[in-house]
Amino acid sequence: MIKEIRLQNWKSFEDATLYIDPLTILIGSNASGKSNALDALEFLKRIANGLDLRTALEGNEVIPPLRGGLEWAALKSKNYFSIAATSELTGLEFKLSEQTAIDNTYEMFVVTENEPESDKFNWNTTYSIDKKYPELSEISLANKFDLSKLELMEHISKKLTNTLSSYKYDNPNYPYMLKVTEDIINDKQKLFDIIGRGFSRQEYKTIFVYEPMPSKIRSYSRFTQNLLQDASNLAGFLAALSEKDKSRVEATLPKYLNHLPERDIKKVWAEPVGPLGSDAMLYCEEEWIAGEPQIIDARGMSDGTLRFLAILIALLTRPEGSLLVIEEVDNGLHPSRIHLLIQAMQEIGRERNIDVLVTTHNPALLDDLEPEMMPFVQVVHRDPKTGASKITPLDDIEQLPKLLASGSLGKITTRGNLEESLEAQALADV
């Protein structure tokens, strides 16, 4: 899964790193650069799915352009940008402990002057090893992305073999080192295959930047296997699920929906409509008066309910190991029900191994976060010296304890205290 994205000269960012956690919350004022960070994720997804650079930036007759297109892709005064993505390699035999992390970083360097073209693709694979074995504390090799030069495993195998030869047979670590060397040699071809896929790896292909639009969800939609980014085909997507997936989704939805202001929502489903049965409509059964259930279709549902429903269905149907990105996640949702949204994102994300990244301006959502969620909040803001966008984890704000003593996270965000503190912190570092 993706662990971090580094943005250099991308739109308003000069050099910033976005860390991806099971639930990541981005906050920041208007024009701070939050949307630009999400655009980088959408760009990566487009590249991973085979679009050329110009189409990925400017779109075509089917795909909308990224905000600003090619002209605003690079930081002003620059004619290039770099996006580096780091993800964890899985499925390898090589493992020193449960904490062993094997990371793979791909960097894309794009020149935007005249025709956009990829100048280079770099890869860097790092084995992060148990600290109790300093000779294996970190083994890495970087090179131009060229399959003919992929000598990483030979490099590591040779280093380990040399280390192994220096051990005495009676050394208690000898069997351990022997096992490590054998596992790495066995992993050689598998790692070649993983590295060779570059940005086309599954975790980049399945990035889903999602912005459900209730006005479009209310319409009839054709049966489809793929949910659109605006959720306009939500009914057709739900109706087209396999019976197994449909039953699983429909059984889970009421757990979260029946606490909304619409009260006890017993069931949500989609079914074919029209003489050909090729379109679908979304329905729900709710109960305002005990014993008197009422069936309504999407045209009678509130904006907040439709957005919440669209988010739940995405969480329940995205491929495992993927990243779901939602801008203004709580838009239209009643403040008293925001805790349900947080609960759903945490529970379903954990159960289905899906990472969720959201942006919000809502102080109610921030105030509903448990203390253990604070490390997963990141602030997008402007550097007072350069005007470039930066991303700072909440825990890296030096004055945070003092700020929280004066009010909740929602309150200090509303008052602009976070940005003020970050500005003072940046100026003090001069």
| CA separation for the pair 251, 267 (Å, rounded) | 8
Give the Cα separation of 5 and 13 in Å (integer).
Answer: 12
Residue 399 pLDDT: 94
Q: What is the pTM of this model?
A: 0.81
φ/ψ of 184, rounded to 5, equals: -65, -40
The tokens describing 8, both together, are 């250099």
Helix (H, G, I), strand (E, B) or coil at 281: strand
Q: Which residues of the chain have pLDDT under 70?
A: 89-107, 109, 111-200, 261-263, 430
In sequence order, the 6+-apart residues with CB closer than 8 A to the CB of 97 are 130
Mean pLDDT of all residues in the chain?
81
Residue 377's pLDDT is what? 97
Q: What is the pLDDT of residue 261?
A: 62
Q: Which residues pair with 106 in a beta bridge?
A: 85, 123
Between strands 377-382 and 389-393, the pairing is: antiparallel
Predicted confidence at residue 345, as pLDDT, reads: 97
- The domain ranges of the chain are 1-208+336-429, 212-326
For residues 400, 401, 406 and 410, what is the CA-based torsion angle, rounded to 10 degrees?
50
397 vs 389: CA distance, rounded Å: 16
CA dist., res. 45 & res. 56, Å (int): 9
Instruction: Report how far residue 333's alpha carbon sits from residue 84's, in angstroms, rounded to the nearest whole number.
Output: 34
What pLDDT score was predicted for residue 207?
Answer: 96
Under DSSP, is residue 92 helix (H, G, I), strand (E, B) or coil? Answer: coil
Q: Given this model, what pLDDT does residue 140 score?
A: 39
